Amino acid sequence: MGPGEVIRDVDAKELETRHTLHYSSVDVDGFIKNFKERGSILVKKASGRPRKSSKRQDRLLKRIQLRDRSATSAELAQEWQQAGVSASARTVRPRLLEDGLVSRRAAKKPLLSKKNIRDRLIFCRKYSEWTAEDWCKVIFSDEAPFRLFGASGKRLVRRRKGERYHQSCVMPTVKHPDTIHVWGCFSSKGVGSLTNLPKNTAMNKELYQNTLQQQLLPTNQQQFGEEQCIFQHDGAPCHKAKIDN
C-alpha cells in the first residue's frame, strides 16, 4: 500500500497511519497537511527567483573561460552579455564554481619551447625503465641565485582590520637586494659540496670547469670512492662547452 492510498483516509488513526507507512510522525503530519491543502502528498516546489541562465548558456560561459583562463569575472560577464545573457560578475562566479573552475594563483614554471618539450620527452622515455638502484648512482648538480634580503615570492600573514601596514604584518623590501649565486650537488648518499660563485660574474666554461674540479671531484671521491657513478647536469651552454687547450 502506497502513502497516497493510506492518506486518502484522513480520518484514520494517526498511530495506525504511521505504522502502515513506516514514517515518523513529522513526515505523516506533513503528508496529511499537504493532502488536505492541495490533494497531494508531494512537497510543493519552493518558490524563488528564476535562474538567470540556461544550461546551454552555462556551457557557453565555461567555453569562454577555458579559452582564457586568466579572464576576470567582470570580463567574462561582459562577453557573456554579448551572447544575450543578462548576468553580472556575481552570477559568473557561482556558475564557474559549479563546473569546478576555482580562482587560484597561477603556478610558475619555466617557459618551454617545442625543442625543450621534445628533448625532455626523449630523456624521460630513454630512462623510463631505470630502477631506484640505477638512480642511486647519479650525482645531481645545479646553480641557483638566492636573495640575501627578503623573499622573492609572496608571504601570507594573519591580520585584523586596520593592520595592513602594522610592522609585524608587512614584508620589507629593497630596490636592489644583494644576491648570491651558489653551485651545489647531491646524490642518494647525501648532500655534496656547496660553494659560492664569484660575485657579479656570469658562469662560463672556464669557471664551470674549475668548479667541477674543486667541488665535484672531492664529493665524488667521498661518496662513491672507486665505485662508478654518473654526473647529471642541465643543458646550459657553459656546461657543454669545450675548453681550448
Supply the CATH number for residue 145's domain.
3.30.420.10
Give the range of the structural domain holding residue 7, as residue numbers without chain letter: 3-38
Residues 219 and 150 in one domain: yes
Number of domains in the chain: 3
Q: Is 51 part of any domain?
A: no
How confident is residue 104, by pLDDT bands cut at 50, 70 and 90?
Answer: confident
Q: Is 32 part of any domain?
A: yes
pLDDT by residue (tens digit) across 30-59?
Answer: 777 777 777 776 666 666 777 888 889 999
- The pairing of strands 230-232 and 190-196 is unpaired
Residues 163 and 72 in one domain: no
pLDDT, mean of residues 219-234:
94
For 26-39, b/e burial (b = at least 16 CB within 10 A) is eebeebbebbeeee
Residues 28 and 64 in one domain: no
Residues 166 and 216 in one domain: yes
Q: Which residues pair with 181 in a beta bridge?
A: 145
Question: What is residue 124's DSSP assignment?
Answer: H
Give me the pLDDT at residue 245, please: 44
Q: Is 44 part of any domain?
A: no
Give me the pLDDT at residue 217, please: 95
The vertex-187 CA angle with 200 and 189, nearest 5°, equals 130
Give me the pLDDT at residue 14, please: 57
* Nearest C-alpha neighbor of 93 from the set 58, 68, 56: 58
Give me the pLDDT at residue 178, please: 83
C-alpha cell at 121: 620527452
Mean per-residue pLDDT over the chain, rounded:
84
- Identify the weakest region by mean pLDDT among 112-116, 130-134, 164-168: 164-168
Residues 215 and 159 in one domain: yes
pLDDT of residue 155 exceeding 90:
no
Give me the pLDDT at residue 187, please: 97
C-alpha cell at 147: 636573495
Q: Is 152 part of any domain?
A: yes
Residue 68's contacts (CB-CB under 8 Å, 6 or more residues apart) are 75
Q: Is 124 part of any domain?
A: no
Q: How far is CA 207 from CA 8, 131, 198, 203, in A?
A: 95, 34, 9, 6
How confident is residue 151, by pLDDT bands cut at 50, 70 and 90?
Answer: low
Q: Is 20 part of any domain?
A: yes
Residues 181 and 86 in one domain: no
Beta-strand runs (E) in 102-233: 138-147, 179-187, 190-196, 230-232
- Identify the weakest region by mean pLDDT among 18-22, 149-153, 158-162: 18-22
Residues 140 and 69 in one domain: no
